[in-house]
Amino acid sequence: MKAAILTDTTKCIGCNECVIACKKVNNLPPDAPRRWDRDDGLTARNWTSIVQGPSDSFVRKQCRHCLDPACVSACPVGALTKSPTGAVVYDSNKCMGCRYCMMACPYGIPRYEWDQVVPHVRKCILCNDRVAKGLQPACTEACPTQATIFGDRDELLSEAHRRIAAEPRLYHDKVWGESELGGASVIYISNVDLGFLTGAESLPATPVPTTTEHAMEAVPFAFTGAVAAMAGINWIITRRMKRQTGGPDE
């Protein structure tokens, strides 16, 4: 099973029960607004938040658990990995604190414990240990209106399409997270345009890491090319110089 979450923003009443449940399950301490916070309510101690979208809609923000995650591709020490269940999880023992994942994430999700002397990256881990035990994530369990539900990604996708087909006048004809940037495990359907979550009007279907991985494939060739070229030039020039200096003898 590929764990996934479907959030239907039309059902969200903005009660923050998911936020509280998340904090309880993950033992996150109470928070206060910090100087380094972004304006969306996600912090190192708040792994999900409710943001107000256009026309007073409530949209729950959390890690999208991309199918081809930029953070996983970017992490130089492999501290972030895509787990078999589908969650993007973090190993704080491997991390060296370069924060490249925070720069790479197209959704701007990972947060840093700036106030700590030994800081770590923090973000939603799709309650990986709970899911492994057969439970559902704390947030979906706590939701009183079933606005955010947990399940298999394929089933949730067909459920999303079923809801859109049933009420085409309510919903935008789009499932956010189905295909853009290679797809995500956390998908949305909504009556408002959720483009504001990324800042880009429309996202391409190619995953973000494709670009860097293409460039990285060229690395061995670039290295061999540069070394071979230099060795070759050196060989030619030394040979010529030898001929010039030793010319009269021959």
Partner 1 sequence: MNRLRRLKLVLWSITGLALAVATARFLFGLGPVTHLSDAFPWGLWIGFDVMGGVALAAGGFILTATVYIFHLERFHSIVRPAVATAFLGYAAVAVGLLFDLGLPWNIWHMLVFWNPHSPLFEVGWCVMLYLTVLLLEFLPVPTESLPKLRKLYCALLKVRLPLVILGIGLSTLHQSSLGSLFLIMPFRVHPLWYSPALPLLFLTSAIALGLMMVVFESHCTSYFYGREPETDTLASLGSVARYFLAGYLVLRFADLIIRGDAHYLAAPGWHTFLFWLEVTFIAVPALLFSLPRVRTSHSGQFAAAFLGVAGIVFNRIDVGGLAHLPAGAPFYFPAWTEIAITAGVVSTATLVFLFLIERFNVWEQRPVDPEAAPLEAPRFHPVGTTWLGTPAVASRTIYSLAFVLAAALGFALLAPRPAFSRGIPPQPVHRARGGDILWIDGNLNGYGVAFPHAKIEAKLGGDSSCVKCHHMNLPRDRNSGCYECHRDMYLPTDAFRHDWHAAASGANLSCNQCHTAAHPRTASNVKTCGQCHKDLIPPGATIQVKTYQTVGYVEAMHTLCIGCHVNLARQNNKPGFAQCTTCHKEPRPLDDAAAQPKTTGVGILLPAYAPK
Least Å from the CB of residue 228 to partner 1: 9
Q: Does 191 sit near partner 1 (CB under 8 A)?
A: no
Q: Cβ distance 105 to 78 under 8 Å?
A: no
Instruction: Single out the residue of 24, 54, 76, 170 in contact with partner 1 (rule: CB under 8 A).
Output: 76
**Buried b / exposed e across 147-165, counting CB within 10 Å, b at 16+?**
bbbbbebeebbebbeebbe
Q: Cβ distance 154 to 2 under 8 Å?
A: yes
Residues 2-41 that bind partner 1 (CB under 8 A): 13-17, 20, 30, 32-40
Instruction: Single out the residue of 2, 10, 57, 97 in contact with partner 1 (rule: CB under 8 A).
Output: 97
Residues whose CB is less than 8 angstroms from the CB of residue 74 and which lie 6 or more positions away in sequence, other chains included: 100, 101, 103, 104, 209, 212
Cβ proximity to partner 1, 154 vs 213, nearer residue:
213
Pairing status of strand 111-112 against strand 58-61: unpaired
Q: Does 227 sit near partner 1 (CB under 8 A)?
A: yes
Least Å from the CB of residue 214 to partner 1: 8
Q: Does 152 sit near partner 1 (CB under 8 A)?
A: no
Least Å from the CB of residue 167 to partner 1: 25
Cβ proximity to partner 1, 158 vs 211, nearer residue:
211
Cβ proximity to partner 1, 1 vs 236, nearer residue:
236
**Buried b / exposed e across 182-192, counting CB within 10 Å, b at 16+?**
bbbbbbbbbbb
The Cα–Cα gap between 61 and 56 comes to 15
Cβ proximity to partner 1, 55 vs 133, nearer residue:
55
Q: Does 66 sit near partner 1 (CB under 8 A)?
A: no
The Cα–Cα gap between 233 and 238 comes to 9
Q: Does 205 sit near partner 1 (CB under 8 A)?
A: no
